[in-house]
Amino acid sequence: MAHTPEKPAFAPGKDGTKHHLGHTRTSLHADHALLTPDSFVRAPLPGMKNATAIVHTAPAMGAAFTQYTAEFETGGELGPCVSQRFLFVLDGEICVLASGKNYALQPGGYAFFPVALTERVSAPKSSRIAVIEKKYQPLEGVRAPSILISEESAAAPQPFMGDDSLAVRMLLPDDSSHDFAVNTMLYQPGATLPMVESHVMEHGLLMLEGEGIYRLGNSWYPVAAGDFIWMAPYCPQWFGALGKVPAKYLIYKPWNRHPLE
């Protein structure tokens, strides 16, 4: 991407926010990270055209996967990927060319690409997507997953542990060919996780709407749409939605694999 003094690619606070005396809600710990938009740094990844990435988590942080937000200018493109890849459209429109077919994805649309596939992902207008990439862990006797293109509204909402005020949509099929899950969780105002969870799976979490309080380890953080959270395995976690509108997040976890593998 062209790098002009008027529009630097590396611009913390590009959204207009300014840090007051070094204050930010961004907070990094061994077992969790909260990263807020005022501290996001943009840089292109190999193969990107007219696009930049905000890498939210990666092995450098301790995660076994990579999650980033890709921001495209008109005509922007993602680079190639050696692992499996999941993307979820946040804003704008995304064109996918895969297995000889073209798809157009709108906000809420998503795609899963298995390892062997060479997809082309481009943006006909200014757009943003959440991207998750993970090395595939094959399972003996189980076929590798296939390409999937769908939209969030096509996944039926399920009450979480019987609570109608907390709806989960599973975006990937719950079969053991997939080694990770991506879900959306929609909390009505005042809804909470029913328990403090502590589990072997790590999480990547992008706040999509609303706000609330996230407990991570032994700290409680105010969080809002646009924030990213990484939770290491076993990080104690709990969320309560605040405000007058629902809170929603997109959440990743490794799934369907034995911890020894």
Report if residue 251 touches ligand UGY, rule: CB under 6 A: yes
Complex with ligand UGY: residue 225 or 251, whichever CB lies closer: 251
Helices and strands: H and E segment counts in the chain: 0, 20
Q: What helix, strand, coil percent values describe the chain, rounded to 5? A: 5, 50, 50
Residue nearest to ligand UGY (CB): 237
For residue 177, the minimal CB distance to Mn ion (Å) is: 22
Considering only residues 186 to 225 of the shown chain, the ones binding Mn ion according to CB under 5 A are 197
Q: How far is CA 28 from CA 24, 25, 108, 245, in A?
A: 11, 10, 29, 28
Complex with ligand UGY: residue 48 or 208, whichever CB lies closer: 208
State the amino acid at position 208 in one-letter form: L
Q: Write the interaction track for ligand UGY spanning residues 181-200; mark x where CB under 6 A is met and - where it is not.
A: ----x-------x---x---
Angle at 223 between CA 217 and CA 226, to 5 degrees: 125
Report if residue 237 touches ligand UGY, rule: CB under 6 A: yes
Do residues 78 and 48 lie in contact, with contact meaning Cβ atoms separated by under 8 Å?
Answer: yes
Bridge partners (DSSP) listed for residue 151: 109
Q: Rounded distance, CA 160 to CA 239, Å?
A: 13
Which of 37, 179, 253, 254 contacts ligand UGY by CB under 6 A? Answer: 253
Complex with Mn ion: residue 31 or 197, whichever CB lies closer: 197
Considering only residues 201 to 230 of the shown chain, the ones binding ligand UGY according to CB under 6 A are 203
Binding residues with ligand UGY: total (CB under 6 A): 7
Report if residue 163 touches Mn ion, rule: CB under 5 A: no
